[in-house]
Structure 1
């Protein structure tokens, strides 16, 4: 089987797709990975043939789309309304500017199946134009249909340029779901009703040496602090999370991102250690709690290791993920939108002293470990590709 993977530029968008792509390659399938040219090294590091597909859009039109609402209008929107707006503009600007390059790449490689990362709208649009089947691979929690509707509708005028009346219905397109089903809110109409669970192999516990940063710690408890790769430079966020733990009798390991400036944090107490980057699989087995912004990679990685969380969401679907963590009893929601020292401090005290949070996280870790591994999903994808008729395009 020839597989064409595509993900948005950025490690957090690429990493969730890599286990399936690597498993496909290792089983002898022909695999190519596409992303923005500035992010190709993330997939190439896994030994995957990777191409860069960049946008050729109108920058003025993109600025206009992102400026559709004034700051005052955005300020009164709910998190769901803001996320729906972001999704729509991502489709308009991302797919609109990249569809020609994506279509050229797909026609060159002639895949049997396109695997598109969630919210990577250019690849589904190009697959539809070429008449090829596609599936969507989750990069975080699944999204309600109402959130994603504007994104799919934005593809209609894009595919119309290539002779299609509209973007084909996607209700029967499989969604490869890396998120534990137990976390999904009940009575929600999901964007992709056909869900195939797939274990998020890249964040599971793995054997490894104890990181040197942990040597010589003085306290019996260790807290890991991170704001991921999207909000790590946001002023005041990491500073507040760190200062909330001063004098709490815990050791603190913080990662500030490869682009983070250590000088920004100044002198720190002896129990606080700041690193630009540490692989989560190395640090999570050795910590007692995680303080974060409720980013999908950090949340899923922490739960896969059975570590309870303190979540202080900052944007988009982080509010949903934080609510899911709290609802499952695997962590405490603190200060949505803007962390405070008192809120973070009190939440950390709670998860460290109440064993029920660790118990819930451990239970979720067992559920994640029991999900179907990527290699086992390949047979289902092959069957889908073989039995799915052309979707109205030109056949490649």
Structure 2
């Protein structure tokens, strides 16, 4: 079977999909990965065929920032900002710009199924126009249907506009894929790497059983790219003096925010723990001159190489960092900075696998408090319950179906849709 995968060209969106693509290839299926020109190197590095579509992500992101400057967004709540970014940035700009190229790939390559990655909707648009079945992969907590509705309405508008311009396949467009024959675009399965123990409570307004969530059919998928693997202990841990080590990171997209990472590191001075902080491929370790000998500042080290050797993670509540930590049974201290990080931080606290160091809004202005980080760190390290709960969630993640099993389910689903 031919399986086409699409993703925003951002590492945190690409990485969750690659084990699934690799598993599909290893099971004998034809695979093709479509992402922006600045992201194709990720699948290509694993020997996976890839095609570039649309502009570099930085161009789309720049257009969004110019169209909606900070002053326009200032009055929005954290949730409203996430929805605004999804609708006006990731769909109306990024997906619309990428969709034309993805449509051509779908028409030429003729996949049996499209798997669209986290917050990626160009693949959905192309599949709906071509009448190809599709599913989505997610990487964060489930969202309510009410939250997601404006985004799906924006996708439908793009699909409808392209059909009206002759971009579909006439009467067949959308059949079996959603968006046609009266079927809603979002009524498709979603692959979920988020563990059950960290999902929002069913009593959350707008959520819960009976269709209150964005996707009513969610298929669990183990986050294979984040689960523990045996490996050699990195040399950067050599000669660190203390028994326990804290990993400090702002992920791949926020490391250069002025003052935030510095505050997190400074909060741990004098706490008798080793500190390993990563500043990203474009970061400058010179920002951290004069650190004590128990602090290591590194540019970029894959977190899967670090997490087996640390005891706690201080971070921005990015999905990949949080899931990586709990997959290793590590508690967290989180200070959300943007997008869905506020929601993820709320689930960290609700599941009692960590604590919130700061509401997040102040961090955007460089106002994160070292005292708040230090207090949260001391609270988490002083209560073994956080580590015990993280170990429970780690067990949940390990027990989720692996990529190979999910590929088999996807293939069966595509076969049913084609013959429906």
The normalised TM-score by structure 1 is: 0.93
Question: Which residue among 232, 236, 241 is the counterpart of 2:255?
Answer: 232
The answer for unaligned runs of 5 or more in structure 1 is: 392-396
Q: Structure 2 matches for 1:379-390, cutoff 5 A? A: 379-389=408-418
Residue in 1 that maps onto 2:198: 183
Deviation at 1:74, TM superposition (A): 2.2
Gaps of 5+ in 2: none
Maintained 8 Å contact 2:327/2:394: yes
Query: What is residue 118 of structure 1 aligned with on the other side?
Result: 118
Q: How does 1:3-82 map to 2 (within 5 A)?
A: 3-55=3-55, 63=63, 66=65, 71-82=70-81
Equivalences for residues 113-262 of structure 1 within 5 A? 113-159=113-159, 160-163=161-164, 167-168=179-180, 169-187=184-202, 188=207, 189-262=212-285
Contact 1:83 1:147 in 2 (8 A): no
Using the alignment, how far apart are the partners of 1:218 and 1:98 within structure 2?
Answer: 50
**CA separation of 1:222/1:74 partners in 2, compared to 1, >3 Å: closer, same or farther?**
same
Partners of 2:371 and 2:127 lie apart in 1 by: 50
CA–CA separation in structure 2 for the residues paired with 1:390 and 1:123: 21
Q: Where does residue 87 of structure 1 map in the other structure?
A: 86
Taking a change above 3 Å as real, the CA distance of residues 28 and 60 of structure 1, as seen in their structure-2 partners, is: closer
TM-score by length of structure 2 reads 0.88
Distance 2:343 2:60 in 1: 32
RMSD: 2.1
> 1:380 deviation in Å?
1.4
Given that 1:99 and 1:126 are in contact with CA atoms closer than 8 Å, whether structure 2 keeps it comes out as yes
After superposing on structure 2, the runs of 4+ consecutive aligned residues of structure 1 that deviate more than 3 Å are: 59-63, 65-73, 163-168
Contact 1:17–1:139 (Cα < 8 Å) also in 2:
no
- Give the aligned length: 389
Counterpart of 1:321 in structure 2 is: 344
Cα distance in 2 for residues equivalent to 1:256 and 1:71: 25
Output the CA distance in 2 between the equivalents of 1:238 and 1:346: 16
Paired with 1:333 and 1:61, the residues of 2 have a C-alpha distance of 28
Q: Is the 8 A contact 2:2 2:29 kept in 1?
A: yes
1:271 deviates by: 0.6
In structure 2, distance between residues paired with 1:8 and 1:52: 11
Asked whether the 8 Å contact 1:87–1:147 carries over to 2, the reply is no
Identify which range, 188-197 or 157-166, moves more after superposition: 157-166
Find the residue that maps to 1:290 and give its secondary structure: strand
C-alpha distance in structure 2 between counterparts of 1:60 and 1:302, whole Å: 31
